[in-house]
Chains A and B, each alone.
Chain A
Amino acid sequence: MSHEEEMRAALATFVVEARELLVDMESALLGMEADDSPELVNAVFRAAHTLKGSSGLFGLNHVVRFTHVVESVLDRLRSNEIPVTSELIGVLLPCRDHLVGLVDAIADGVLDEMPLQANHADGLLARLQPFLEDAGGGSGHEPREGSDAERPDQAAGGRRNLHLSLRFGPDCLRNGMDPLSFIRYLSTLGEVVHLTTLADLMPDAAQMDPESSYLDFEVTLRSDAPLEAIEGVFDFVREESAIRVLEADRPIEEYVALVQSSGLLGEVVAGILVATGAVPGDALDRALYGEGKQPAAASSATAVDLVPRPRSEAAASAGPSRAAEAKAREPRSIRIDASRLDRLIDVVGELVIAGASATLQASHSRDEATSVALEELMRLVEEVRDSALQLRMVPIGSTFSRFQRVVRDVGDALGKDVALVISGGETEVDKALVEQIGDPLTHLVRNSMDHGIEPAEVRVARGKPARGTLRLNAYHDSGSIVIEVSDDGGGIDPGRVLAKAISRGLVEPGANLGEQEIYDLIFAPGFSTAEAVSDLSGRGVGMDVVKRNVVALRGTIDVDSRPGEGCTMRIRLPLTLAIIDGFLVGVGDASFVVPLERVIECVELPASSATRDCMDLRGEVLPFIRLRSLFAISGERSRRENVVVVEYAGTKIGLVVDTLMGEFQTVIKPLGALFGHVQGIGGSTILGNGDVALIIDVPMLVRHYGDRYRAGHLATPE
């Protein structure tokens, strides 16, 4: 391995570990508000400290610099010099997010700090500053000055901040000079610490000439290049443009002149000068407006003003105990590349098929000894298969705990106080599913918080606790995993849903729909019952996407609503995607596999039902589908036909086949894109004798055909 390759491999490990540390950090931070045990503070501190150390090894100085300040704050927290407050957590969480961003960039090969990141880091460090100073004096200080003094790179001589005010002439673009390319070039001379793009002088659409240049830029450049060099950048456009470059610490009059010459932009520019720390706000105000006048520009300097939040007592009661539990267990684990695991599963799948083939050969040759030996072999192969599949299973809890943060952030944005209660986190599910279920869950959680849980006043008026509760629950149910998102909000009002659906043209007025069918309407594209379009949801683009994603995972989603009491969204997904126990059946010359977990029983088709589409199953009406006609299989109908009774999500249907061939282990081979549109088939598999059998997609058939037979109101469900 070359040195470069070694470095790359080591860096990949760093990224993986850093991400894990940051996940730990987040869950500990979220737990801290509710639980002030030193354990959690220590956990956050350790994570920051380890991250700083390993970043240093890789020369990732910007990460070290930033983490160092975070660590200093955490150290004061650890030694009880400052208390845990919502404000502090509110600053530390975005700091943690910033680190995630830095690590992501490193994963993408960006090892140096980008100007945008530096800008962001400065803002965050300024917010941390009050917590580094003595508790009494923190608030009144100018944040940037302090944070700059803290920055280790400040010591490097020759570098200073310059303020650039760039007003490009209207004809720049037409002359082939792109203003953005000048700014791009500037970043080669130093670090663009701040940059504001101003479109304020762009006229209305009718007057706006797309080939004229309207954008203005205010830039803070940190550079050691001489003033002439920086001004020289703009030589090509100097004549037609107004370019001003001011070095730091110029007399206040020069800044005043800049503001006054900026015309309509004057106030904006003054705000930027103060916000970037080019001039102190009060001094600029005095110079501009005279003593004792209203400060116009000062506001933006302290844009980040945290509103104190009531301290949430039991905030996420599941959070801290989970984190502590995870700490206590400290599972011993090794990291495996997911693609190696997939390869293993694939080979095990082939092994199962080859084993089945060998068993078949042995039974044909009537070689007793070989058959016995093979039986034992197959037992072991099955065990290997089960363990291999087990490797892919992960508890869903780690996905759930991510929602502590989502609930907190969304709650803040909506001004709602919501507790998240997690249960069933230990339920295991295929890794591939876990990865893909995150987005739909996020949609559902946001939707519940936005539309489900009422504002506190309404809740109190309805006699509920002011604080809303959102539950995430998971459990196994007959070969499926069920994930529930419930809230204790107002529930779904079927009348409103129906009215909206009619007004949106989704349903004919006067249609007679059952309650469940009405709830299903919320998953229709373009449907939204939100009275006001809010930031988070209510654009009617969420729920249909949720449904599409769930269906793509061979799952279903349904709604259980109790008006006034709350609502539960229930997602049902298959446990795994790779291998299933199947039941092999034959129709004519073709073979089909029905997933065994769906099979209830097998009965002979009664002669009385031979010409009908349903039969009497011990007093129950059982609709059935003839696989022969469904898949257009030629040949005469068999004299004796059998019915395989299958069930999905509470609905039973029968599949009419010629022969029953028994249980059969099978590896799902996905069908090619060519067959993507074929309905009712979930994949294919290879039989021991080399033939191909198609795997029946039971949920799809039940949904599609089961509904039709019920005295339904909706003719076609999809």
Chain B
Amino acid sequence: MRQVVTIEGELTIQTAAERKAALLSLLESADEVEVRLSEITELDTAGLQVLLLLKREAAQLGKTVHLTSPSQAVSDVLEIAHLSSDLEPAR
């Protein structure tokens, strides 16, 4: 089962707790989750952690999470953190 979700608005310490719960719950029902980052207006360390956590949890469960179409706000953070759009270390 594949699911596609779009995160809208800010993914920051303000929203991290509820996003964490919502995103992780997707892994219960779907084998493959595509998370669209195109509508994220703001991303901070807390938000980045949630995305990293989601990727790691998925890997541990043998499931797949694709993070796609990062918005400018997301790309900026990824560039600072030297991470690729899939949160792997950028070369």
Q: Which positions in A face B, CB cutoff 8 Å?
A: 114-116, 119-120, 123, 172-174, 178-181, 183-184, 187, 192, 194-197, 199, 202, 204-205, 208, 210-211, 213-215, 217, 526, 533, 539-541
Decide if A180 touches B32 in the complex (CB within 8 Å).
Answer: no
Q: A180-B45, A539-B32 are in contact. Are A199 and B13 (CB under 8 A)?
A: no
Kindly state whether residue B79 has any CB partner on chain A within 8 Å. yes
26 sample A-B contacts, Cβ–Cβ < 8 Å, listed by A number = A115-B82, A119-B90, A119-B91, A120-B90, A173-B13, A178-B45, A178-B46, A180-B45, A180-B80, A187-B80, A192-B82, A195-B82, A199-B49, A202-B53, A205-B53, A210-B16, A210-B17, A210-B19, A210-B46, A210-B49, A215-B45, A215-B49, A215-B52, A217-B81, A533-B64, A541-B2
- How many chain B residues sit at the interface, stated as a range, is 20 to 34
CB distance from A527 to the nearest CB of B (A): 12
Docked-complex contact A180 and B48, CB < 8 angstroms: yes
Nearest Cβ on chain A to B76's Cβ, whole angstroms: 9
Contact residues of B between 42 and 91, Cβ < 8 Å to A: 44-46, 48-50, 52-53, 56-57, 64, 77, 79-83, 89-91
Assess whether B13 is in contact with A211, with CB atoms less than 8 Å apart: yes
- Asked whether A116 lies within 8 Å of B79 as measured between CB atoms, the reply is yes
Choose one: B13, B64, B81; the contact of A195 (CB below 8 Å): B81
- Point out the residues of chain A lying under 8 angstroms from B17, CB to CB: 210-211
CB distance from A271 to the nearest CB of B (A): 12
- The residue in chain B whose Cβ has the minimal distance to the Cβ of A211 is B13
User: How far, in Å, is A119 (CB) from chain B's closest CB?
Assistant: 7
User: Which one of A116, A204, A214, A540 contacts B82 once the chains associate, using CB atoms below 8 Å?
Assistant: A116
- Given A183-B81, A210-B19, A211-B16; 6 other pairs, CB 8 A cutoff: A173-B46, A183-B80, A210-B13, A210-B49, A211-B13, A214-B49
Q: Which residues of chain B have C-beta atoms less than 8 A from A183's C-beta?
A: 80-81
Contacts of A173 in B (CB 8 A): 13, 44-46
The answer, yes or no, to whether B24 is at the interface (CB within 8 Å) is yes
Expressed in whole angstroms, the Cα–Cα distance for A445 and B45 within the complex equals: 39
Most buried by A among B45, B57, B64: B45
B34 shortest CB reach to chain A, Å: 9
Across-interface contacts of B49 in A (CB, < 8 A): 199, 202, 208, 210, 213-215
In the complex the two chains form, what is the Cα distance from A215 to B52 in whole Å?
10
Q: Out of A196, A204, A205, A213, which one reaches B89, CB within 8 Å?
A: A196
Q: Is the CB of A196 within 8 A of B82?
A: yes
Which residues in B have their C-beta under 8 angstroms from that of A178? 44-46
| B90 to chain A: closest residue by CB | A116
Query: Which residues of chain B are within 8 angstroms of A116 by Cβ–Cβ distance?
Result: 79, 82, 90
Query: Within the assembled complex, what's the spacing in Å between the Cα atoms of A197 and B48?
Result: 11
Known contacts being A205-B24, A211-B16, is A180 close to B53, with CB within 8 Å?
Answer: no
Nearest CB in chain A: distance from B37 CB, A:
16
Question: For the complex, what is the distance from the CA of A184 to the CA of B83, rounded to whole Å?
Answer: 14
Please indicate which of the listed interface residues B20, B53, B77 has the most CB atoms of chain A within 10 Å of its own CB: B53
**Docked pose: A184 CA to B79 CA in angstroms:** 10
Q: What chain B residues lie within 8 Å of A210 (beta carbons)?
A: 13, 16-17, 19-20, 46, 49-50
Query: B24 — nearest CB in chain A belongs to which residue?
Result: A205
Q: Which residues of A contact B46 (CB under 8 A)?
A: 173, 178, 210-211, 213
Contacts of A115 in B (CB 8 A): 79, 82
Q: Which residues on the A side are within 8 Å of B13 (C-beta)? A: 173-174, 210-211
Measured between beta carbons, the chain B residues less than 8 angstroms from A180 are: 44-45, 48, 77, 80-81
The smallest beta-carbon distance between B53 and chain A, in angstroms, is 6
- A173-B13, A195-B81, A197-B89 known; A179-B53 Cβ under 8 A: no
| Chain B residues in the interface with A (C-beta under 8 A) | 2, 13, 16-17, 19-20, 24, 32, 44-46, 48-50, 52-53, 56-57, 64, 77, 79-83, 89-91
CA distance A208 to B53 in the complex (A): 9
Q: In the complex the two chains form, is A215's CB within 8 Å of B48's CB?
A: yes
CA distance A114 to B90 in the complex (A): 13
CB distance from A373 to the nearest CB of B (A): 57
Instruction: Tell me whether A120 and B2 are in contact in the complex, defined as CB-CB below 8 angstroms, given that A180-B44, A195-B82, A199-B56 are known contacts.
Output: no
Which residues of A lie under 8 Å from residue B89 when comparing CB positions?
196-197
Residue of A nearest to B23 (CB): A205
Residues of A within 8 A of B52 (CB): 199, 202, 215
Which of A178, A183, A217, A539: most chain B Cβ within 10 A? A178
- Tell me the nearest residue of chain B to A208, going by C-beta: B53
Which residues of chain B are within 8 angstroms of A181 by Cβ–Cβ distance?
44
Q: Do B80 and A184 touch across chains, with their CB atoms under 8 A apart?
A: yes
**Closest Cβ–Cβ distance, residue A172 to chain B (whole Å):** 8
**What 3 A-B pairs come out closest when comparing CB atoms?**
A210-B16, A195-B82, A197-B81
Residues of B within 8 A of A172 (CB): 45
Q: Which residue of A lies closest to B50 (CB)?
A: A210
Report whether A213 and B45 are in contact in the complex, using a CB–CB cutoff of 8 Å: yes
State in angstroms the CA–CA spacing of A195 and B83 once bound together: 9
A379, B38: Cα distance in complex, Å: 51
Q: Is A205 in contact with B57, judged by CB distance below 8 angstroms?
A: yes
Q: Which of chain A's residues have a CB closer than 8 A to the CB of B45? A: 172-173, 178-180, 213, 215
Q: Once the chains are docked, how many angstroms separate the CA of A261 from the CA of B16?
A: 30
Q: Which residue of B lies closest to A210 (CB)?
A: B16
Find chain B residues with CB under 8 A from A204 CB.
57
| Distance in angstroms between the alpha carbons of A540 and B64 in the assembled complex | 13
List of B residues within 8 angstroms of A205 by Cβ: 20, 24, 53, 57
Which chain A positions have C-beta within 8 A of B56?
199, 202
A211 vs B80: C-alpha distance in the bound complex, in angstroms? 20
Chain B residues lying within 8 Å of A114, measured Cβ to Cβ, are 79
Residues of A within 8 A of B20 (CB): 205, 208, 210
Q: Specify which chain A residues have a CB less than 8 angstroms from the CB of B48 in the assembled complex.
A: 180, 215
Q: Select from chain A the residue with minimum beta-carbon distance to B57.
A: A205
In the bound assembly, the distance between CA atoms of A23 and B53 in angstroms comes to: 39
Name the B residues within 8 Å of A194 (CB-CB). Answer: 82
How distant is A187 from chain B, measured CB to nearest CB, in Å?
A: 8
Give chain B residues whose Cβ lies under 8 Å from the Cβ of A217.
81
* Nearest-CB residue, chain A, relative to B78: A116
Q: Looking across the interface, which residue of chain A has its beta carbon closest to that of B82?
A: A195
Chain B nearest CB, measured from A237 CB (Å): 12
Interchain CB contact under 8 A, A526 and B16: no
B36 to A: closest C-beta gap in Å:
14
A7 to B32 Cα, complex, angstroms: 48
Q: How far is the CB of B23 from chain A (nearest CB, A)?
A: 10
Minimum C-beta distance from B84 to chain A (A): 10
Q: How far is the CB of A386 from chain B (nearest CB, A)?
A: 41
Chain A CB within 10 A, most for which of B13, B16, B24, B77: B13
Query: When chains A and B are docked, how far (Å) is the Cα of A658 from the Cα of B87?
Result: 63
Residues in B with CB closer than 8 Å to A119 are: 82, 90-91
Residues in A with CB closer than 8 Å to B64 are 533, 539
Complex CA–CA separation, A234 to B79 (angstroms): 21
CA A308 to CA B68, docked complex, whole Å: 33
Question: How far does the alpha carbon of A119 sit from the alpha carbon of B81 in the complex, in Å?
Answer: 12
> Closest CB of chain B to A535's CB: distance in Å?
11
Least distance between B58 CB and chain A CB atoms (Å): 10
A484–B37 alpha-carbon span in the complex (Å): 35
Closest to B51 in A: A199
Return B3 CB to nearest CB of chain A, in Å: 12
